[in-house]
Chains A and B, each alone.
Chain A
Amino acid sequence: MTAKWMSVAEIKQKIGESSAEEVTADYLEAIKKSKINGYVTVSDRALEKSKEIDSEGHKGPLAGVPIAIKDNISVQGLPNSCGSRMLENYVPPFNAHVIEKLIEAGAVILGKTNMDEFAMGSSTESSYFGPVLNPWDLERVPGGSSGGSAAVVAAGEAPFALGSDTGGSIRCPASFCGVVGLKPTYGAVSRYGAVAYANSLEQIGPLANNVEDIAVLMDVIAGHDARDSTSVPEEKTDYQAALKDDIKGLKIGVPKEYFGEGISPGVEKAVWDAIHHCEALGASWEEVSMPHTKYALASYYIIAMSEASSNLARFDGTRYGFREAGETWHSLISKTRAEGFGDEVKRRILIGTYALSAGYHDKYYLKALKVRTLVKQDFEKALSKVDVLMAPTMPNPAFKVGEKIEDPLALYLSDVNTVPINLAGVPSMSVPCGFTDGLPVGLQIIGKPFDEPTLLRTAYTFEQNTDYHSRRPPEVA
């Protein structure tokens, strides 16, 4: 039996019975047959690495377990393209902190997954390497920006994956592809080695076919790293210990603002069904209000684009990456950036530059920071009364490839339920909670800072009592 779609526990059992090599070979075989363009780079070293694990008898918690890595997380020796022409041939000379942890744990890196260019997008259509297709409907987008990571997990081309989430980039594709995704609390996972889009907002996080595997991965990647000053020196959390099938007494808040105009009826129904299901499992729910939600989107985009305009300044063709020759350094850098970046990246750099410019800084950037504080206070207030918040991850199921790419504003608007979480820095999960017109719907569970255990317990309980997570996309099965 192929290892495709197996849980980590099942894979470990299979490795014990046969070999890590066989498991990795199964996944490489699935990748070879792929229809979804999920990987930018498949590692030539994966099979060799799995053989090493077999021969050395690695004792790590992920010994021989394959994993896919979003292409903005540095893996030494593999290109780190960030979905961009700019970094198509950039190979980092160092490993991200999370990659060090994975290697220590014995994981086998299958390859680097496709993504929106520099993580800017919600559809993975802005990748220089072409769009990723949704395994549930090959005419649709997988969400983004970690669309590759979500799609390969859904398609059985990796048991689990790492993504990054700046404004929903893990949760959105998890929701569209029917997999589980977690954006950890800001500071829970080191960002060292992840290419920054908007530093103050983003976190690396796991995507998997089930909640247990999310916890397994968190136990490996989370924890303090002195190389990331924003990494919080919390005591080590035992994420797997949180996996209990029990939410009796759990208080759920339902923010009415997250069910606003434009929400698809199918999504609304699936999410309410899930909330009621939790009620049936012993939880209680109440409506809560988060009045600043409507300003979150504008605040998010101003902050993210402002930070991005600075973060992406280093790509100037001088030291590494794409270079277009020029007569002078100024013409070199202009041409390099004109040719090396795609439209969406340029749009965000321009808007961010504008928002930070003298005369506009206070009007836009500073105001956005003030709104951010208010949004954060909304969460503090709401989460002082309830244990978790539940809402739709995305207001709609996956849309068609090309449907929104020409209308950036419509695309930005679809992030309305995910970006407030990044502004507040709180943890949030998306778990499969149903289908509408054959497309997966994601339930978003939001928690208090560093209360991932409660999120995991809630998600686990819901998963144990439903079967959405075990359904497989027919087109790639």
Chain B
Amino acid sequence: MVYENPDGVMIGLEIHVQLNKLKSKMFCGCSTDYHDAEPNTHTCPVCLGLPGALPVLNREVVKAAIKVGLALEGEIAEETQFHRKNYFYPDLPRGFQTTQYDYPIVSKGKVVIEGEDGEHEVGIWRAHMEDDPGKLVHIGSIEKSKGVLIDYNRSGMPLIETVTAPDMRSPKEARRFLDKFRNILEYLDVFDGNLEGAMRMDANVSVYGGTRVEVKNISSHKGVEKALLYEIMRQKNVIRRGGEITQETRHFDEARGVTIGMRTKEEAEDYRYFREPDLMPMKVSDWTPKIKETLPELPDAKRARFIEQYGIADMHAKALTSKIMLADFYEGVCKKGTDPKQAATWIADVLLGELNYRDLVISSYDGSTIGCINDKDHSIANSTRVADMVDLVALFTDGKISDRAAVEVIRTILDGEEEKTPLQVIEEKGLFKAEDDLVTKAVAEAITENEAAVQDYLGGAEKSLNFLVGQVMKKTKGTADAKTAREMLVKELKG
């Protein structure tokens, strides 16, 4: 099957990623750990742009950028070069941003995603380093704001801006690209995507090969998908009505799900780029091979290895490697002697499903516990322990509990107020599988007490068997294994 792309949609993305796992800012020694701090407490003369203060490039930023470039299979520059991008804005303390212009640290990379019609390659035009401005805090909504406060804690945070080719053909592909891209960055351990402002996206989109429109500053993957869906519809309708798409920049109103025009090309700013005289080029060509050696196993390679090493299905391998923390959790469970296939089923199918149902996203893994936070409300947290998963799978495979009971254990642990082990939950709820003679007794009783159903079944009404199974379950208070009960009933009735 080949995806036809009926509306000729072309989507390109620009993604700003904050390297918030590094210890210090891009050009000064200020800590990057400001997310819970009072405004304007993580600042110094350099990131406040006081007259006379000078930038010094943090080498760790360059190393992280090279790591990202290698993971994106890109070409790495021989040396660092920085330019000034000049514009006035109150969050920009020096009146210019330090960025890379015609010689980015990374060029010509690619990412393979699950496209509309199978594997689909998205080209990476470039990835470059730049510093983050401060943050404007509007009093009220952006349109009606009565005033603005400025917090420079964010000023000087290291960013990597990645620019893709317009290779995505649907909002879904854009979303998949972003999921994969974020996954890769988390594998590299250069950023924590759950922190506020960690990832900000601009999307370029055109239909029927026409003029492209840029939607700026979208803060979530879902937001990008929504903004693109709206923008494609808008563009198609403008054309349908005989109008023309103008090259412009639009703002995405996440609450209303619409894009709003901000400025047209005529109003586009001239950034007057020129080489930053305060930073000398830093030669990095000899760093790259060393960094390459220390590159961790990336999602695609891990997925292939999981299939090979653990003999699990590709679907499971893909799900398990979709987050580095989840992959590590899985391997943690396997290392304790758990059957890898069973572990894959219980983690990828059941646990992940239950987390999704509760809007929980995995945010950490410390070697023994996986931490989650609620996607919509970061104050809600949850966790699952390796040891519990190991015990649960063992209890199931040893035939001590039914699959239904195992699912209930997971749900109870996730929803419970207190921390409990699977064994505690099973004991409290009496979820142990019933003894065989108890089931045999229930089967016999169900047959003698339900003459009519027995006759119906023997007369060919298969549904009546379900009723009898239900009766057995009722008599055993749900501790019987439904499958076993069914088999025993059939054996008893049909010999």
The residues in A between 310 and 358 inclusive whose CB is less than 8 angstroms from any CB of B are 310, 312-316, 318-320, 329, 333, 353, 356-358
- B270 contacts A by Cβ under 8 Å: yes
- A195 contacts B by Cβ under 8 Å: yes
Contact, CB under 8 Å: B270 / A357:
yes
Contact, CB under 8 Å: B90 / A318:
yes
Q: Hey, what's the 0/1 contact readout for B424-435 against A, CB within 8 Å counting as 1? A: 000000000000
Given A353-B272, A357-B272; A227-B56 close (CB under 8 Å): yes
Choose the segment among A24-32, A89-97, A275-283, A392-400 that binds chain B (4+ C-beta atoms closer than 8 Å). Answer: A89-97
> Which of B95, B272, B274 is in CB contact (< 8 Å) with A314?
B95
Nearest-CB distance from B155 to chain A (Å)? 11
Contact, CB under 8 Å: A310 / B52:
no
- A185 contacts B by Cβ under 8 Å: no
Nearest-CB distance from A453 to chain B (Å)? 24
- B55 contact set on A, CB distance < 8 A: 229
> Which of A74, A198, A361 is in CB contact (< 8 Å) with B51?
A74
Contact, CB under 8 Å: A199 / B86:
no
- A87 contacts B by Cβ under 8 Å: yes
- B208 contacts A by Cβ under 8 Å: no
Cα A49 to Cα B377 with chains together (Å) = 57
Given A310-B272, A318-B150, A357-B270; A92-B277 close (CB under 8 Å): no
Nearest-CB distance from B53 to chain A (Å)? 7
- A193 contacts B by Cβ under 8 Å: yes
> Which of A96, A230, A313 is in CB contact (< 8 Å) with B52?
A96
Cα A316 to Cα B134 with chains together (Å) = 15
Choose the segment among B42-50, B157-165, B325-333, B379-387 that binds chain A (4+ C-beta atoms closer than 8 Å). Answer: B42-50
Q: Hey, what's the 0/1 contact readout for B73-86 against A, CB within 8 Å counting as 1? A: 00000000000101
The residues in A between 190 and 240 inclusive whose CB is less than 8 angstroms from any CB of B are 191-196, 198-200, 226-230
> Which of B50, B57, B150, B274 is in CB contact (< 8 Å) with A356?
B274
- A80 contacts B by Cβ under 8 Å: yes
Nearest-CB distance from A250 to chain B (Å)? 33
- Nearest opposing residue in chain A for B269, CB measure: A358
Q: Hey, what's the 0/1 contact readout for B89-126 against A, CB within 8 Å counting as 1? A: 01001111000000000000000000000000000000
Q: Kindly name the residue among A90, A92, A227 whose own CB sees the greatest number of chain B CB atoms within 10 A.
A: A227
Contact, CB under 8 Å: A314 / B54:
no
- A116 contacts B by Cβ under 8 Å: no
> Which of B51, B88, B95, B273 is in CB contact (< 8 Å) with A87?
B51
Nearest-CB distance from A406 to chain B (Å)? 29
- B278 contacts A by Cβ under 8 Å: yes
Cα A229 to Cα B98 with chains together (Å) = 14
Given A194-B52, A228-B54, A229-B279; A306-B90 close (CB under 8 Å): no
Contact, CB under 8 Å: B86 / A356:
yes
Given A310-B95, A310-B96; A80-B90 close (CB under 8 Å): no
- B56 contact set on A, CB distance < 8 A: 226-229
Nearest-CB distance from B83 to chain A (Å)? 10
* Interface size grouping (class) on chain A: 35 or more
- A5 contacts B by Cβ under 8 Å: no
Cα A310 to Cα B49 with chains together (Å) = 12
Cα A316 to Cα B148 with chains together (Å) = 16
- A160 contacts B by Cβ under 8 Å: no
- B313 contacts A by Cβ under 8 Å: no
- A365 contacts B by Cβ under 8 Å: yes
- B270 contact set on A, CB distance < 8 A: 357-358
- A268 contacts B by Cβ under 8 Å: no
Nearest-CB distance from A232 to chain B (Å)? 9
Q: Kindly name the residue among B54, B57, B150 whose own CB sees the greatest number of chain A CB atoms within 10 A.
A: B54
- Nearest opposing residue in chain A for B271, CB measure: A358
The residues in B between 170 and 219 inclusive whose CB is less than 8 angstroms from any CB of A are none
Q: Kindly name the residue among A314, A329, A357 whose own CB sees the greatest number of chain B CB atoms within 10 A.
A: A314
- A353 contact set on B, CB distance < 8 A: 272
- B139 contact set on A, CB distance < 8 A: none
- A82 contacts B by Cβ under 8 Å: yes
Cα A80 to Cα B270 with chains together (Å) = 31
Cα A365 to Cα B148 with chains together (Å) = 36
Contact, CB under 8 Å: B272 / A356:
yes
- A307 contacts B by Cβ under 8 Å: yes
* Interface size grouping (class) on chain B: 20 to 34
- B280 contacts A by Cβ under 8 Å: yes
> Which of A310, A313, A315 is in CB contact (< 8 Å) with B274?
A310
- B150 contact set on A, CB distance < 8 A: 318
Cα A307 to Cα B53 with chains together (Å) = 16
Nearest-CB distance from A210 to chain B (Å)? 29
Nearest-CB distance from B79 to chain A (Å)? 13
Cα A318 to Cα B134 with chains together (Å) = 13
Contact, CB under 8 Å: A230 / B93:
no
Cα A106 to Cα B160 with chains together (Å) = 45
Given A92-B52, A195-B51; A313-B94 close (CB under 8 Å): yes
Contact, CB under 8 Å: A192 / B53:
yes
Nearest-CB distance from B149 to chain A (Å)? 12
Nearest-CB distance from B136 to chain A (Å)? 10
Contact, CB under 8 Å: B86 / A191:
no
Contact, CB under 8 Å: A200 / B90:
no
Contact, CB under 8 Å: A94 / B45:
yes
Q: Hey, what's the 0/1 contact readout for B245-275 against A, CB within 8 Å counting as 1? A: 0000000000000000000000000101110
Given A93-B45, A333-B88, A353-B272; A313-B95 close (CB under 8 Å): yes
- A72 contact set on B, CB distance < 8 A: 52
Q: Hey, what's the 0/1 contact readout for A174-197 against B, CB within 8 Å counting as 1? A: 000000000000000001111110
Cα A316 to Cα B87 with chains together (Å) = 12
Cα A372 to Cα B282 with chains together (Å) = 22
Contact, CB under 8 Å: A82 / B272:
no
> Which of A94, A230, A319, A358 is in CB contact (< 8 Å) with B278?
A230
Nearest-CB distance from B152 to chain A (Å)? 8
Cα A94 to Cα B50 with chains together (Å) = 10
Nearest-CB distance from B374 to chain A (Å)? 37
Contact, CB under 8 Å: B52 / A192:
yes
Contact, CB under 8 Å: B280 / A229:
yes
- A318 contact set on B, CB distance < 8 A: 90, 150
- A228 contact set on B, CB distance < 8 A: 54, 56, 278
Q: Hey, what's the 0/1 contact readout for A414-446 against B, CB within 8 Å counting as 1? A: 000000000000000000000000000000000
Q: Hey, what's the 0/1 contact readout for B18-53 against A, CB within 8 Å counting as 1? A: 000000000000000000000000000100111111
- B52 contact set on A, CB distance < 8 A: 72-74, 80, 92, 96, 191-196
Cα A329 to Cα B57 with chains together (Å) = 31
Contact, CB under 8 Å: A310 / B51:
no
- Nearest opposing residue in chain B for A352, CB measure: B272
Cα A49 to Cα B414 with chains together (Å) = 67
Q: Kindly name the residue among A196, A309, A313, A358 whose own CB sees the greatest number of chain B CB atoms within 10 A.
A: A313
Q: Hey, what's the 0/1 contact readout for A280-314 against B, CB within 8 Å counting as 1? A: 00000000000000000000000000110110111
In order of increasing CB-CB distance, the 4 nearest A-B pairs are: A313-B95, A200-B277, A356-B272, A199-B277
Interface residues of chain A, those whose CB is within 8 Å of chain B, are 72-74, 80, 82, 87, 90, 92-94, 96, 191-196, 198-200, 226-230, 306-307, 309-310, 312-316, 318-320, 329, 333, 353, 356-358, 361, 365
Query: What would be 12 A-B contacts, judged by CB atoms less than 8 Å apart?
Result: A74-B52, A191-B54, A193-B53, A196-B278, A230-B277, A310-B86, A310-B274, A319-B93, A356-B272, A356-B273, A357-B270, A361-B272
Given A320-B50, A365-B274, 9 further pairs, Cβ under 8 A? A92-B50, A199-B277, A229-B56, A313-B94, A313-B96, A314-B49, A314-B93, A319-B93, A356-B272
